[in-house]
Chain A
Amino acid sequence: MRLAEAFRVALGALRANRLRSLLTMLGVIIGVAAVVVLVAIGSGAKQEVEAQVEGLGSNIIFVVPGSVEFGSAPSISRLNLDDVEYLGRVIGNPEAVAATVSSGETVSVGSTEVFSTIAGTNENVPNVFTRPIARGEYLTATDVDTRRRVAVLGSGVSDSLFGEVEPLGRQITIAGVRFRVIGVFEEVGSTFGVSRDDEIHIPVTTAQQLFGVDRIDALAVKASTIDDVEPIRREILDALAEEYPDEEFSAVTQSQILGTLGQILGLLTLVLAAIAAISLLVGGVGVSNIMLVSVRERTREIGLRKALGARRRDITVQFLIEAVLLTTVGGVIGMTLGISAALLANTFSPLPAEIAWWSPVLAFTVSVAVGVFFGVVPAQRAGKLEPVVALRSE
């Protein structure tokens, strides 16, 4: 019997048992759809986070005291404003070093009060980060040097405090001290779930006085090209080691952050895919189960086919094709459902879903393989039936 004929016979057998075929396929459909959707969400999350990191700006090196490791206790910062100048001299570009010291404070305008992150920064922030100003202007060197009480508002905090009213030139109170609004940021969204639109920037010197500290929390240095990033990172670490021989500092580049995040989110995607693959496996077991039942139920039919001249191979191939058809059709339906669900999620929910080209291909291949793998045993059992024994069973 030719393969095309066997295919037709198998299709006929599946059609004869429509409901059962559909229910059997359901396991595979759900499994494949789950793989496609979960991988889409995993890779969507990865892309979004990467976009957020890249959205900060390019070629940025973050310098913080202590070592950056998961689980390490936050260390008390030894960095201060002198180090900002020092590092600026070391790398030969003082304007490329931004500094921050931040604290959460209550901010009020009249009777409106909000709690906001107050970032004391220097005038170099716009040189380092992508942080466009919507109206007014950013802090200047003079603001920093003379400890002016001026503030640049994030778009969110601006809306909360002033609503429709133009905030430029107006007064706000931060921790009981009055500041004048000189600028408002454009909306930038959030990074890692923290909204950067709710920040208020004030001169770093003013902030130190306000918070009662002389440290700064972190430095950010911008390299002019991607090739300069690594040499500058080394220069910074060497310079700091010279200045503070007993201290440890970390200088982390954006690509390092991206690499770490990529690893974590890649792993997350893999775990999601693995969970979904388990359901695909369960679907495969279901196919195997139903095929075994089917072989037993159709023992008489198998005996008859053999009596009429079907060879062992004809019967085995027929049942194997039935199993593979079930999983393949299930795979195609699951793929379609999965892709549709991912697209819907992307459009109508905050979950970012990105269909990786390989996930439907993989899910489809796996579902075909599942059919072969789980179909072989029932198919061989069918092929081995003796015609006399099979015909006798009623």
Chain B
Amino acid sequence: MTTPAIEAVDVTRVYTMGGTEVQALRGVSLRVESGEYAAIVGPSGSGKSTLMHLLGLLDRPSSGVITVGGRDATSLSDSEMATLRNETIGFVFQSFQLLSRTTAIDNVALPLLYRGVPKSERRDRAAAALDTVGLAGRIGHKATELSGGEQQRVAIARALVGEPELLLADEPTGNLDTRTGGEVMETLERLNLESGVAVVLVTHDRDIALRTQRQIYVRDGLIERDESSAMIT
């Protein structure tokens, strides 16, 4: 665990809302190592979503630095950041965020489209990723024809297809019932073990957070506690 997958150094994020400044993050430093399985935990309004957006290179910090694989991401242009995001980070969202009229395989292949991967290779890799999450039989189904659990697994396949270093999952079980939520969690955990991708969950649910090796508690824009539990065997 020598090279961090992603590192935030003293980042702040200030929003201006209706003329008043809101400090969403007030100086947060965080290292996520390669292959790590961690959870950012906090109540809503704690700043955990803002932290996830910054770690996911979806947003820029007001101050501080984010480095990905040792590279300063905050000094990149928008399109360079998009490219870096495409190559290093996979996202899983609470509301799945699939293109509804598009087939599972085309949804999964989307990150590769923006990487300029040729069509046949895109299809092969997307099909393989769908196979990994146990949806080989759903390749040609449109997103709307799939159950919630299946949709979230398609989203996981999409997050994985580009072989990122870090998978950011924002309340991945939030829209699912307990059983399918559990299946999705198992899928994430299996992928973390098998492919070595670092997985960071963002959740308000302590039970889910406790399934990970490390819990980063966020409150009022600061890291309150950062606990590593014993390795799950």
Where the two chains meet, the residues of A that have a C-beta atom closer than 8 Å to any C-beta of B are 1-2, 5, 9, 12, 16, 300-301, 304-314, 386-388, 391, 394
A interface footprint on B115-156 (CB within 8 Å = 1, 0 otherwise):
110010000000000000000000000000000000000000
Q: Is the CB of A307 within 8 A of B102?
A: no
Residue from B87, B102, B113, B158 whose CB has the most chain A CB atoms within 10 Å: B113
Give bound CA distance, A306 to B91, whole Å: 11
The answer, among B87, B102, B114, B119, for a CB contact under 8 Å with A12, is: B102
* Contact A305-B110, Cβ < 8 Å, known A2-B116, A388-B59, A394-B95: yes
* Contact A311-B79, Cβ < 8 Å, known A1-B114, A1-B116: yes
Give bound CA distance, A309 to B99, whole Å: 15
* Contact A311-B97, Cβ < 8 Å, known A1-B113, A387-B58, A391-B58: no
Q: Is the CB of A388 within 8 A of B58?
A: yes
Q: Is the CB of B78 within 8 A of A309?
A: no
Give bound CA distance, A311 to B91, whole Å: 17
Q: Is the CB of A309 within 8 A of B111?
A: yes
A-B pairs with the 3 shortest C-beta distances? A309-B86, A309-B114, A311-B79
Give bound CA distance, A12 to B100, whole Å: 12
* Residue numbers in B under 8 Å from A307 (CB-CB): 56, 58, 85, 91, 97
* Residue numbers in B under 8 Å from A12 (CB-CB): 102
Closest chain B CB from A125 CB (angstroms): 76
Q: What are 30 inter-chain pairs, A to B, with CB distance below 8 A?
A: A1-B113, A5-B119, A9-B113, A12-B102, A300-B97, A304-B99, A305-B110, A305-B114, A306-B58, A307-B91, A307-B97, A308-B114, A308-B158, A309-B82, A309-B85, A309-B86, A309-B87, A309-B114, A309-B162, A310-B82, A310-B114, A311-B78, A311-B82, A311-B83, A312-B78, A312-B79, A312-B82, A386-B59, A388-B59, A394-B95
B101 at the interface (CB under 8 A from A): yes
Q: Is the CB of A304 within 8 A of B97?
A: yes
Closest chain B CB from A165 CB (angstroms): 78
Q: What is the size category of the interface that chain B forms with chain A? A: 20 to 34
B53 at the interface (CB under 8 A from A): yes
* Residue numbers in B under 8 Å from A388 (CB-CB): 53, 58-59
B217 at the interface (CB under 8 A from A): no
Within 8 A of A (CB), among B72-116: 78-79, 82-83, 85-87, 91, 93, 95, 97, 99, 101-102, 110-111, 113-116
Closest chain A CB from B159 CB (angstroms): 9
Closest chain B CB from A233 CB (angstroms): 72
Q: Is the CB of B93 within 8 A of A391?
A: yes
Q: Is the CB of A5 within 8 A of B113?
A: yes
Give bound CA distance, A394 to B175, whole Å: 14
Give bound CA distance, A305 to B98, whole Å: 10
Q: Is the CB of A308 within 8 A of B99?
A: no
Closest chain B CB from A1 CB (angstroms): 6
Closest chain B CB from A114 CB (angstroms): 73
Within 8 A of A (CB), among B195-214: none
Closest chain A CB from B100 CB (angstroms): 9
* Residue numbers in A under 8 Å from B111 (CB-CB): 308-309
Give bound CA distance, A387 to B111, whole Å: 14
Give bound CA distance, A308 to B95, whole Å: 15
* Residue numbers in B under 8 Å from A312 (CB-CB): 78-79, 82
Q: Is the CB of B93 within 8 A of A309?
A: no
Q: Is the CB of B101 within 8 A of A16?
A: yes
* Chain A: CB-nearest residue to B83: A309
Residue from A12, A305, A312, A387 whose CB has the most chain B CB atoms within 10 Å: A387
Closest chain B CB from A94 CB (angstroms): 86
Give bound CA distance, A16 to B119, whole Å: 20
Give bound CA distance, A5 to B102, whole Å: 15
Give bound CA distance, A47 to B56, whole Å: 69
* Contact A301-B58, Cβ < 8 Å, known A309-B82, A313-B79: no
* Residue numbers in A under 8 Å from B102 (CB-CB): 12
Give bound CA distance, A2 to B87, whole Å: 17
* Residue numbers in A under 8 Å from B97 (CB-CB): 300, 304, 307, 391
* Chain B: CB-nearest residue to A384: B78
The answer, among B53, B78, B86, B101, for a CB contact under 8 Å with A308, is: B86
Closest chain B CB from A148 CB (angstroms): 89
* Residue numbers in B under 8 Å from A304 (CB-CB): 97, 99
Give bound CA distance, A12 to B115, whole Å: 19
Closest chain A CB from B218 CB (angstroms): 17
Closest chain B CB from A321 CB (angstroms): 14
* Residue numbers in A under 8 Å from B83 (CB-CB): 309, 311
The answer, among B56, B58, B59, B114, for a CB contact under 8 Å with A314, is: B114
* Chain B: CB-nearest residue to A4: B119
* Residue numbers in A under 8 Å from B58 (CB-CB): 306-307, 387-388, 391
* Residue numbers in A under 8 Å from B99 (CB-CB): 301, 304
* Residue numbers in A under 8 Å from B82 (CB-CB): 306, 309-312
Closest chain A CB from B224 CB (angstroms): 24
Closest chain B CB from A81 CB (angstroms): 87
* Residue numbers in B under 8 Å from A16 (CB-CB): 101
* Chain A: CB-nearest residue to B170: A391
* Chain A: CB-nearest residue to B52: A388
Closest chain B CB from A193 CB (angstroms): 59
* Residue numbers in B under 8 Å from A5 (CB-CB): 113, 119
* Residue numbers in B under 8 Å from A2 (CB-CB): 116
Closest chain B CB from A13 CB (angstroms): 9
* Contact A309-B115, Cβ < 8 Å, known A16-B101, A300-B97, A304-B99: yes
